[in-house]
Structures are given as C-alpha cells and as structure tokens.
Structure 1
Amino acid sequence: MATPVSARLCRLAGRTIAALSVKPRPAVGLRRCFTSTSTGNNLHFRLDEQTAHSSLDLFKKNTGVIYRTMGLDLSHAQDNPARFRDWAVVFGDEKISSGRHYWEVTIKRSQEFRLGVAEALMSREDCIGTNSSSWVFGFAQRKWFAMTNKKIVPVKLVGKPERIGILIDYEAGILGLVDAEKRAIIHTFRVQFKDALCPAFGLWDGELLTHSGLEEPEGLK
C-alpha cells in the first residue's frame, strides 16, 4: 500500500509541519510488546515487527528496514494496536528507562529518514517528531534537521554520512547525533525524560541497517 498523502506531508521537513491536520490521541490499550527494559549500557535491540508500518519490511534478523513503495495490504496485516498504520515508522524492541547508550545506523540509498527515540507508548496516530513524545534527527531535501513537537531546527552537517550514531544519556537528558566516522557529536537535544523510551526510525525510501550493542566512542560528552 502506498504511503498516505498525510504521511508524505509529515516527512517533508522543509514544509510547515504545524499545518498538518493531525489529531493526536492517547495510545490507549497498546499491548506492551517490548521485550525488556534496559538499565545498563551497550543496549542491544532489534526492530519490532509488531510496530512496523505496512510499507516497511524488516530484514537481516530484524536489524534492517527497507521501504517499499507498495507495502503490505493492510487487510492482510495482523491487526495490532502497536502498529503504525499511517506513518512509515518502526520502533526498536527494547525500552530505555536509565543509563547511557549508543547505537549506529548505516544509511543506504535513502534521502528521507528520521532517527531518534520516542516514548514506548507514544500514540500510533502520530509520526515521530510531530509530538512531545518523540525526539528525532532527520534528513530530507538534502538537509539535516532536529525535530520534536513539530518544531524543526536545521542541523549544520556537510553531506550525508553513510553511517550515523545516536547517543542517549537518560538521566542527564541528552540525545545526541554523532558523526560515526569523526567520533564527534553534531547536535544535541536537552530533554527531561520521564517515561520509558524506544529507539525510533522513520523511512520513506531506501534502507536503514541498525548496529546496537556498541561501546560508546571515546571522547563524546
């Protein structure tokens, strides 16, 4: 099934996100489909197929995701309240409630994607970055940006690295975008996290491959 027009509007970071007619609703009755809560370092996760939008296919033992122009027929997809039905989003299958964690993402042939974290019970009516329950770094129209609650902040980053890192320190309230090659933080969110979080990904073309269980590069603060 092709991505709905409203979902396409959601991903165009260069347009006014506030103009979207999105009506957030609480994710009432979402089944807790996440495997465990991570409290230490070296977070290990896979992508949670139960949350994946029908246009997203998982591969490589659920560590990678590919966007399909024509996704699954929703009439044949398992009816699951944890699934994103309008937005091309998928969550990781681990929850983060404390600790400092780092993972990386390899980007293949994608010009439109979002990477970050979201509250585990975030409404499936929303797209990551458009509410106060998610914090993401995105790439669209050849430009990087940081986004939360529909607010977009340009991120100065030359080019598009093939591999990017995400650093989170739950207690310190830090979410950082990391240049995996230069081992440097490019942009940082400062957030007072209150609820359990999941790694979150949005994809509208190409592929993403996740690499979890990594040691944090030395020198990041």
Structure 2
Amino acid sequence: MVVCWRMLRGIRYRFLLVVARRQLYAVESPKRYLTFKLDEKTAHSCLDLFKKETGVKYRTIGIDLSKVPKNPERFREWAVVLADVTLSTGKHYWEVTVKRSREFRIGVAEANMSREECIGASDCSWVYAYLQRKWYSMSSNEMVPIGFFGKLDRVGFLLDCEGNKFSLIDVEKVAVISTITAEFKMPLVPAFALWDGELLTHSGMDILQGI
C-alpha cells in the first residue's frame, strides 16, 4: 500500500507539472500584433519622418523635387505617406497621436494605389478626415460628417479584413464612433495625409476590449 501510494503521488506530481508547464507556455506565448513604421520611399517631399519612422511632420516648404530620389512608390502630388506593411487577413488595431494639426486624413488604401491621387479621393482608399474642426468618413472624394467625439489628441483605428470594415475609435471612451463598410481589395496598407502639424503612430497594440 505504501508503494502504491508513493507511485500514485509520483504520477500526480508529474501530471501537475505537465499542466503547469502548459499553462506557463500559454501565458508566455507572444501575441501577434500589427507593427509598422512609415515607409520613407512613399513619403511626399513635404513630409519628414521622425522617431524611428513612426511619426510624420509637415513642412511648409518641401524639399526640392530634383533632390528627392525618384521612384514609382513616392507620392509626388499630395502630402501622403504609407506604412511599410500590407494587410490581407485578420483584425488590426493602431492609434495615432495628433499634434498641432488642423487638417489630416488617416485610413487604409490599396497597396498599389496611384501615387498621383490623394487618399480618400478615389475608390481604392478609405479614410477618416479631419477638417475645420470636424470629422468625416471619406472615400471616392465623398465626405460624410461624423459627430464630434472625445479629445483630438489621440484616436484609434480598427481594420477588420474579413468583415470589410474600417472603424474610428474613441480611445478615452473605448467606443466605436464610425464604421466604413466596403468591398476592400486586398492587400491594404495604413495610409496618412497631412497638411500641417504632425502625427505619431502607435502600433504593436492589442485591440481594446469592448470594441
């Protein structure tokens, strides 16, 4: 009986050890978050990237175009820059801090969109635009007003590739303010346009619970 008890106790110990190891592995397994930087190769000459290419700043006088490396990826007519990652599946969340900007657009665009167009002006990009202290959803150059929400200094964005939805998030209230529904053509890329001030992107974040 003593031997049997010891054997059972040993088996139970090994079982608990295996369970504990599995639980530890589950807790410590890294989650896959959307992480991106801004792609300098796409940035218009009026835009400067900073903070390890996670921020973009508008300059009143742009760089002489003759001094900007020519490549087909660069926006030459509009102050636009794209992120360096393409998205085709899953849900992805990021936030943007706005500093001293009164006019900008933030959204997603087809990765191969024309570099002669501005995001929001064609049917291959979907954005939230801020202009004259008001928010708008925008695509194909059509602007739909959105009611005021929260503070302007930081906002969130949620892309649902399978659901064909792109949402504007009030970070303070953890609430969806507006959702654009469209037949997205993949792959998509986060996209930004700026006419004053600066934007700082925050990726590598989990989706806020409750949205």
For the criterion TM > 0.5, the same-fold answer is: yes
2:187 pairs with 1:199: no
Aligned to 1:14: none
Structure 1 residue runs of 4+, over 4 Å off? none
The whole-number CA distance in structure 1 between the counterparts of 2:170 and 2:108 is 17
Aligned to 1:67: 58
Aligned to 1:121: 112
Aligned to 1:106: 97
> How does the TM-score come out when normalised to structure 1?
0.80
| AA in 2 matched with 1:47 | L
Compared with structure 1, are the counterparts of its residues 115 and 105 closer, same or farther at alpha carbon in structure 2 (3 Å cutoff)?
same
2:204 pairs with 1:213: yes
The whole-number CA distance in structure 2 between the counterparts of 1:176 and 1:162 is 17
Tell me if the contact between 1:43 and 1:102 (Cα under 8 Å) persists in the aligned partners: yes
Aligned to 2:85: 94
Aligned to 2:28: none
The whole-number CA distance in structure 2 between the counterparts of 1:41 and 1:202 is 27
Aligned to 1:169: 160
Tell me if the contact between 1:41 and 1:101 (Cα under 8 Å) persists in the aligned partners: no
Aligned to 2:41: 50
> 1:4-43 to 2 correspondence within 5 Å?
42-43=33-34
The whole-number CA distance in structure 2 between the counterparts of 1:202 and 1:104 is 15
State, as a whole percentage, how many aligned pairs show the same letter.
Answer: 57
Deviation at 1:161, TM superposition (A): 1.9
The whole-number CA distance in structure 2 between the counterparts of 1:41 and 1:152 is 34
Tell me if the contact between 1:115 and 1:138 (Cα under 8 Å) persists in the aligned partners: yes
| Residue segments in structure 2 that go unaligned for 5+ positions in a row | 1-30
Greater CA radius of gyration, 1 or 2?
Answer: 2
Matched positions, count = 181
The whole-number CA distance in structure 1 between the counterparts of 2:151 and 2:78 is 23
What SS does structure 1 have at the residue aligned with 2:66? coil
Tell me if the contact between 2:43 and 2:75 (Cα under 8 Å) persists in the aligned partners: yes
Question: Which has the larger helix fraction?
Answer: 2
The whole-number CA distance in structure 1 between the counterparts of 2:106 and 2:114 is 17
2:132 pairs with 1:141: yes
1:183 to 174, 191, 201: 174
Tell me if the contact between 2:96 and 2:202 (Cα under 8 Å) persists in the aligned partners: yes
